[in-house]
Structure 1
Amino acid sequence: MERDSFGKGVFLLKIDRILERAVAGERLGLEDGLALFESDEIEKIGHAADLVMKKWHPEPITTFVIGRNINYTNICDTYCRFCAFYRPPGSPEGYVLPDEVIYQKIQETIDVGGTEILMQGGTNPDLPLSYYTNLLRGIKQRFPQITMHSLSVAEVEKIAQVSGLSVEQVLIELKQAGLDSLPGAGGEILDDRTRRKISRLKGSWKNWIETQKTAHRVGLPGTATMVIGFGELMEERVLSLMRIREAQDETGGFTAFITWTFQPDNTNMKAVNNTPEEYLKTLAISRLMLDNIANFQSSWVTMGPEIGKLSLSYGANDFGSTMIEENVVSAAKCAYKVNTNMILQLIREAGKIPAQRNTRYEILRVFREGEMVENDFVMQN
């Protein structure tokens, strides 16, 4: 018994030293990250992450963006086991939204003060590069003020395959047509053992990293992501973070990091350890490991508003997007409906000052105490 107590004491001392080093600005390694994931000292890890966050963001401001998710197609030939949204090519339930419907959704977003469109779908083998460039040009001609934070690594790679062009050339043409930044969708776990298990036809982790770095080089910033709860090893989580960090060292192109938990409803997979506590711990460890990314988003869409609020004490400085519309996550029955005024309320309840930002994390408006928005909306399905 004494040996067990002594061993636990040594382990706790080790955790304390790791956290002290992280708060002091020292870069953590693989063994450090593994020790943190093995620890059950979630509040202590969260406190350290909060201290690191405040070094980046000393003012008590939590930002959010008013944006809309537009799922322009659900046809996909990647067949990820964890996705409840896609339909295979030829399915009678498959769709491609008409351009006019997309324009209408963007106009509705602008009407309520929105600035960002997250337009994503499946890897649709029937859509050539010209579909995307024509659509983006049409959007920018009608709505030059909107930021197209859209598509994904998998979609870009599919466009390159269909068009016979390189990923770099596709990204250049998409940027010229109106793409502004590349989201981190498809990152999941950046290790091939888990990737083969959950999405055999999706590219390797190196593909994802290289496409993101290429996007950064051609002038398209992006976000990095990690999804937990697939049964991945803790080492794979830490390696994912280290690979993102290494890419950021090289390009500086990631504006933010987002982690969330796998939602298993309506899929053919079971979730493993995707609890709120595991989410908060992973968020905090990510903040400590990723010492070169300024912004961390809360994942209230999958975790719910209350956990989203709590995440602001575990390293997150941003509440993400209002997400007027969301179909991919809601297909797994886990989309929480939140309006802008509720976001303002939740941020204030966390002891923070809410501020609207744009995709580049520039603050557009700070909301005074008690101030609400006039054109409020509830996320639509």
Structure 2
Amino acid sequence: MLKQIQRKIEERKPLDRSEALWLLTRADLLAVGKMADGIRRVRHPHGRVTFVVDRNVNYTNICQSQCRFCAFYRAAEADDAYVLTYETILAKVAELADRGGTQLLMQGGLHPDLKIDWFEELFRRVKAEFPAVQIHSLSPAEVIHIARLSGLSMPDCLRRLQEAGLESVPGGGAEVLVDEVRKEISPNKIGWRDWAAVMEEAHGLGMRTTATMMFGSRERPEDIVEHLFRIREIQGRTGGFTAFIPWTFQPGGTELGGETATGVEYLKVLALSRIVLDNVENIQASWVTQGAMMAQVALFFGANDLGGTMLEENVVAAAGCSFRLSTEEIIEIARGAGFLPAKRNTKYEILEIY
């Protein structure tokens, strides 16, 4: 089977689900990693590793979804529940801009009262004051929630948000794109088809988006494979995904509990992502959940991007995972692994090579 798969990769033919499952469950980690690294070298022969200077602003922690894997959300009546004011958010964006940042990653909970006009006003103010900052914000679940709350169709909601300044939609809330898994870990959240519908609509409006996968909770290997193939199929229809980011479930403080995936499991899934997603240009290493050293290793298992500097991150940190990296440290991770560090923007346009 391994030689058959290697031959298909050499001939640039896509794998099928059975071959992907074999790599995930039967193949040697280093063999899979070597194949993924070879693909990365072909796709990115310049030897660059990219990153973006960004900030993750969580505008509220009040969330009706109450996912079992999340330690961040609060009920509206909780003592530590909050909604940030426009002034607080704009001050955070000002700090991002002062540091040369170009990407605002803004996500929160499914708040029961924040309708589309709240976001339209915020996005307009951000773009008016910081035109160089790209608004890469709101997960598909948030878009659908805002639409329902505002009495709008999802396409109309997305179009209005875009007109107000939304430029890109992050892939958050994908978890695993298999509804049986979603019903166990996030029973109140949208199904996988709704997630896909928002992404395809965004792509149709000319927005580029990312795709993610959170694994290591309750899914089976077959579910991981199905997730990857569903991403590949969406990309085949739209071409709108800039990158894929797999990351591991962090159980600390969550209702779901349990253990997180091991480093070996993370690298295997990362490498498989690079192999299966032959139509997605970039694979991102998750230093936020894996730490700096594992992110550096990931650059030899198919990853070519180190994500954002994240001047702020609260969701994963709520589960007890609080790795922090500066721009200088990300540059050193890439350089120390023998690559050329390159700062990019949300659209993966190169801004500076170090």
Which TM-score bucket, shorter chain as reference? over 0.9
Question: Is this contact kept in 1: 2:61–2:83, CA < 8 A?
Answer: yes
Corresponding residue of 1:54: 41
**Whole-Å separation in 2 of the counterparts to 1:188 and 1:254:** 16
Alpha-carbon deviation of 1:40? 4.5
CA deviation vs aligned residue, 1:190-247 (integer Å, no higher than 9, x gap): 0011000000011111111111101111122100111110121111111111111111
Alpha-carbon deviation of 1:39? 2.1
Corresponding residue of 2:293: 306
User: Is 1:215 the equivalent of 2:205?
Assistant: no
**Whole-Å separation in 1 of the counterparts to 2:318 and 2:2:** 39
Corresponding residue of 2:239: 252
Q: State the AA in 2 paired with 1:91.
A: A
Alpha-carbon deviation of 1:299? 0.3
Question: Is this contact kept in 1: 2:138–2:169, CA < 8 A?
Answer: yes
With the length of structure 2 as denominator, give the TM-score of the two structures: 0.98
Question: Is this contact kept in 1: 2:208–2:242, CA < 8 A?
Answer: yes
User: Is 1:348 the equivalent of 2:304?
Assistant: no
Question: Is this contact kept in 2: 1:231–1:271, CA < 8 A?
Answer: no
2:84 paired residue among 82, 88, 97: 97
Corresponding residue of 1:239: 226
User: Is 1:35 the equivalent of 2:27?
Assistant: no
Q: Can you give the 5+ residue segments of structure 2 that lack an aligned partner in the other structure? A: none
User: Is 1:296 the equivalent of 2:283?
Assistant: yes
Alpha-carbon deviation of 1:167? 0.5
**Whole-Å separation in 2 of the counterparts to 1:40 and 1:296:** 21
**Whole-Å separation in 1 of the counterparts to 2:311 and 2:154:** 30
Alpha-carbon deviation of 1:349? 1.2
Alignment of 1:1-381 (within 5 A): 14-272=1-259, 274-367=261-354
CA deviation vs aligned residue, 1:36-88 (integer Å, no higher than 9, x gap): 11125111101111111122111111010000000011010001000000111
Alpha-carbon deviation of 1:177? 0.1
Q: State the AA in 1 paired with 2:221.
A: M
**Whole-Å separation in 1 of the counterparts to 2:349 and 2:322:** 27
Alpha-carbon deviation of 1:125? 1.3
**Whole-Å separation in 1 of the counterparts to 2:326 and 2:217:** 30
Q: Can you give the 5+ residue segments of structure 1 that lack an aligned partner in the other structure? A: 1-13, 368-381
Alpha-carbon deviation of 1:280? 0.5
Which sits farther off after the overlay, 190-199 or 339-348?
Answer: 339-348
**Whole-Å separation in 2 of the counterparts to 1:23 and 1:339:** 38
**Whole-Å separation in 2 of the counterparts to 1:252 and 1:60:** 24
Question: Is this contact kept in 1: 2:251–2:260, CA < 8 A?
Answer: no
**Whole-Å separation in 2 of the counterparts to 1:19 and 1:78:** 43
Question: Is this contact kept in 2: 1:322–1:338, CA < 8 A?
Answer: yes
Count of aligned residue pairs for this structure pair: 354
Question: Is this contact kept in 1: 2:124–2:165, CA < 8 A?
Answer: yes
Q: State the AA in 1 paired with 2:96.
A: T
Question: Is this contact kept in 2: 1:229–1:271, CA < 8 A?
Answer: no
With the length of structure 1 as denominator, give the TM-score of the two structures: 0.91
**Whole-Å separation in 1 of the counterparts to 2:21 and 2:181:** 17
**Whole-Å separation in 2 of the counterparts to 1:66 and 1:273:** 28
**Whole-Å separation in 1 of the counterparts to 2:138 and 2:116:** 12
**Whole-Å separation in 1 of the counterparts to 2:11 and 2:245:** 23
Alpha-carbon deviation of 1:90? 2.4
**Whole-Å separation in 2 of the counterparts to 1:347 and 1:271:** 32
Q: State the AA in 1 paired with 2:192.
A: W
Q: State the AA in 2 paired with 1:64.
A: F
Aligned Cα root-mean-square deviation (Å): 1.0
Q: Which has the larger radius of gyration?
A: 1
Identical aligned pairs, as a percentage?
Answer: 46
Question: Is this contact kept in 2: 1:256–1:297, CA < 8 A?
Answer: yes
